Amino acid sequence: MKIVVVGANHAGTACINTMLDNYKGNEIVVFDQNSNISFLGCGMALWIGGQISGPEGLFYSSKDKLEAKGAKIHMETEVTNIDFDKKIVYATGKDGKKYQESYDKLILSTGSLPINPEIPGKDLDNIQFVKLYQHAEEVINKLKERPEIKTVAVVGAGYIGVELAEAFKRWGKDVHLIDFCDECLSTYYDKPFRDKMDTQLLNNGVKLNYKQLVKEIKGDKRVQAVVTDKGEYQVDMVVLCIGFRPNSALGKGKLNLFRNGAYVVDRTQKTSLDDVYAIGDCATVFDNSIDDINYIALATNAVRSGIVAAHNVCGTKLESIGVQGSNGISIFGYNMVSTGLTLEKAQRLGIDALETTFHDLQKPEFMEHNNEQVSIRIVYRKDDRTIIGAQIASKQDISMAIHLFSLAVQEKVTIDKFKLLDIFFLPHFNKPYNYITMAALGAK
């Protein structure tokens, strides 16, 4: 069987490895328009901020590794067209060489593209995106080579924007964080938690410019100012991170698309066409918190989707168990994790939901060192009381606790089950009346 894979980052790499490791005798041909494979974009801010020594550890695979297992990899080669009726992929290499590959099964792993807004002045020098390895490398080189860059505007206060605000502060730059929302991280957390992160950013010198829409970027060849509907800020670099859109142009007109343009897939990752599968950021996921398909672009989801597709393409039926969109962030030592729906998002979706929120020290008061405040919110349906989301925040590392709630959302566990849940106690780790139990006991 001949399998063509278009795109070889997280989802593609997971898919290719799974097929090569578990199924022998297939011909696997891969096209990717980048010059590298498997770059962990989630580590970009750490690299830019100097919290890691370099980018080498942000790669976990390569053309050589995949070819050593038996795949044929074409790097820096763009797929220009796909004839879905004749099952032929057309591509062009960086050197102009043309490729025409037939396939029995096709896997689309084309990822997502940064949103490039139509703003006057957006083509000035020192306007940056942060998606690829090359983007991060360019930013770092400019920070090293251009000491005149003293003030940076980060446009977009989602996860990437907030992480980059920290990274630029670690360079000693003045940082403006600009967003049209009222607070940062509006997708992942309810207001009390967003306020905590905003306080953390303010305490570390980030200037917050919220409820503002960027109208223009001014400059003479290079950036000199950002103009919003509320004011003008003198800056030397602008980083645009206002979101991503699925890279689905190859399938438009032939494959069913989600409302945002992602390929609609079933639980086997199959698209609306037989023998065509889509994985990673270009495809939908099944969201257990709403019991419906959704779009949640996370590397963890991408890897799992690649594994699921690989088995199905090679003849083993395997269905995704769905996702909850579990995620986390750590900024200047303050950690926040969430899964499922926030209360605000549940209400926007018309779900009659309730929340229970609790604040306490992580450990007993007599543990005088390394003992921090923890805040937790659990969101649950009013009718059947099933948990549909949770958020936790602390300077303590509370990250592993969110996995419990991810499983709870997936398995439709009720808030009442948590009231007497067997949670161990040891002063080194928690309180006998721990924050999870106490939050559950406080549920209406």
Q: Who's near 30: CB < 8 A, 6+ residues apart?
A: 4, 5, 6, 8, 12, 16, 66, 71, 72, 73, 74
424 touches 349 (CB < 8 A): no
Q: Contact at 8 Å (CB) between 378 and 427?
A: no
Separation between Cα atoms, residue 178 and residue 333, nearest integer Å:
22
Do residues 283 and 263 touch, judged by C-beta distance below 8 A?
A: yes
330 torsion bin: left (phi>0), alpha (psi -120 to 50), beta (else): beta
Question: How many CB atoms within 10 Å of residue 424?
Answer: 8
Any bridge partners for residue 376, and if so which? 358, 392
Inter-axis angle of helices 10-22 and 299-313, nearest 10: 30
Give the helix, strand, coil percentages of the chain, each rounded to 5. 25, 30, 45
Q: By the 8 A CB rule, do 26 and 320 touch?
A: no
Q: Which residue has the tokens 């909850």?
A: 324
Element (H, E) at 214: strand 214-220
Beta partners for residue 334, in sequence order? 331
Q: Where are the alpha helices (DSSP H) in 219-316?
A: 299-313
CB 266 within 8 A of CB 256: no
Token representation of residue 60: 């976990």
Examine the residue annotation and report whether 42 is marked as an active-site residue of this protein: yes
311 is a catalytic site residue: no
Question: 415 with 385: CB under 8 angstroms?
Answer: yes
Marked catalytic residue, from 10, 74, 176, 311: 10
Of 15, 42, 314, 359, the catalytic one is: 42
C-alpha span between 27 and 406 (Å, rounded) = 37
What is the C-alpha separation between 266 and 279, in angstroms, rounded?
A: 11
Q: Which two tokens stand for residue 378?
A: 């659990």
Known catalytic residues are 10, 42
